[in-house]
Amino acid sequence: MVLFVAGRIYVRANQKSGVGADDWIMVGAAYNVASVTMYNASMTLTKLSVCMTYLKLFPSRTNKLFCWTMIGYQLLWGVISSALYILQCV
């Protein structure tokens, strides 16, 4: 997406009409999509960090099983939600 928007700006900048308001709106939309995708990744990494901390703090077998289950769930959820958001327009 970033390459396409950059290509659009480059082409428009080299045309007589120049870069217009519609192009700048597209740049803003591109940053929005990137920020939401990064937000999903950031939340997933935060939750994984908490689970990894619990593994160190509470070394019981039950807690390890729970934490590793939640780590797997969070990884799966993070990958799927990011992929769905990126590919929603397809």
| More confident call, 77 vs 8 | 77
- How many domains does the chain divide into? 1
Percent of the chain residues past pLDDT 70, beyond the cut: 98
Please identify which residue in the block is written with the tokens 């769905």.
Answer: 84
Q: Which domain holds residue 77?
A: 2-86
Nearest residue to 35 (alpha-carbon basis) of 78, 80, 86, 84: 86
Assess contact for 49 and 61: CB atoms under 8 A: no
Averaged pLDDT, 35-39: 81
Q: How far apart are CA 12 and CA 20, in angstroms?
A: 8
Question: What does pTM read for this prediction?
Answer: 0.65
Q: What is the 3-state secondary structure (H, E, C) of 6-19?
A: HHHHHHHHCCCCCC
User: Which of the four pLDDT bands, split at 50, 70 and 90, describes residue 90?
Assistant: low
Residues 6+ apart with CB under 8 A from 36: 85
**50-87 pLDDT, tens digit each:** 999 999 999 899 999 999 999 999 999 999 988 888 78
